[in-house]
Chain A
């Protein structure tokens, strides 16, 4: 990793990462490139998020789905842990709550593979700072 030694360095780095992320998003097979984020804060882990994350990593690979599984912090839906966010290319991301292994399998099979929604969606109910202008 190279050091960031000036503000313009940082901005350059930011822009690189951003475009890099976009490249990742528009991967070789954009139709099937899926992003799964698992909320891995203490509450999520306590509710079993680690198992779910491992499951997605393994199963996306096994089921030949071009996807990236990452961890993230608390999404705020403690009542519905474990929580995951799935972003299909060209779609708004969708949050699923109370994800157990059965639900995870259903999410892969139905939502990720066919775009068919499954029960357990958590409607997003907040604004981000970017939307608040």
Chain B
């Protein structure tokens, strides 16, 4: 590749052609402030509108300042990143942005984690000249089951739009209006509820301000915990343990499973369980479904629906209900681990401890915002009582722990309660892309071939490539597996299936980049994709450390089937652990 020589702040530097000034400066250790720019390396997500104009620098020979995030270097370029002219411009632009931004930082959900707040501190903004005469753009507050849009706080960085349209191809959001009143919104500025939004929460995950945040359910959880008539149990999703530590300043990728359990117990949960238990259960049901369809296929049944698609990601379920309703009989009917957990908890476990369904409160800790919506779906409740009462995100758990004045980093490690706290390594890897299908493969292989796997690590299924595929030798039968994370990638696979081009037998789909580790409810990555990689590593480490690594070997799962469900896909299992899907393509403004 061609190398370009240039000078930045008096220092010579050589970078490949096509490098931006911002990146070239980084190689010199010069950190030019950025606001709207976002580069999730390795995931192919770059937001580069050049809109905020905070990153402007002086380039010799140019009339105007250049935005360093979006200007490529050229041979002999002389760049100055912090002249008086640059600093004045940067400060004035920041004052402008703040002049159209609410000042309720103290009570803002993003306080302390806000890129805009950080930038105001960095630039030493102490007052906004002329604020008293400055009109602010205001928009209607939009509260959906998962996400709150408080667009008064939008700074038009367009990151959410990039995630929603380019990466997820959901198309719920677009920049609307023009000029001062321009904002990112669903069609007709309706609420997200009336849009094709999947609640994947990727808009929230990248929003630099408090414009997009999760609906806060921590108050409901506190109320439940303080109600003496209620038995409150909690389940924690696999990806939470690999990220929660970040809320307390721990290095990304630090596993905090034990501390998390202790913290939850300290908060007052009567039983601290693990969604991983339900993940093992999912594998039993979904794996059996796969084997069933595969058996029919091998027997020559032409009508069998293959590939089978995983169904544990609620944003993905919302996505195909909106966009591919004609294919709603392809995904597995297995409920997600969160819902399987709730369903078993409010039947099997409630009976065990002799608590009435209404008096048992199930809380889930999820890396996900779509889970908030999922647990509110009508089909997951019995006589109006939901299987899972409240779903809170990893971030909300962080708030709860801080609120309770628990010194998280100093907590001892404790174990989950039994029976629904026991899990295998196969369940843990549900938290990262490729994990569900790897777990399913471990079980399905052994059930199909009757042989025991010597090596359970299917490395070919791992990685961060948006679409991956692998062929596994299933005792002579080549099982073709596809994996996609990100709904845009999922869409490609679905279009292939629709067009009859798909060769896969099974496909795993996760809505978020990296799978649940990159979920919309996780600690904010602030545009640093190495954080996601560290979390994935932690997940695989936990898997390796487990003695049991195949779902069908989980003794409490075996017991559950013996005592309660019978066998996978039994009538009872169908009733409690499976679901059906809806056509939501018309669920918009009018048609």
Check whether chain A touches chain B (CB < 8 angstroms): no
B residues within 8 Å of A by Cβ?
Answer: none
A residues within 8 Å of B by Cβ?
Answer: none
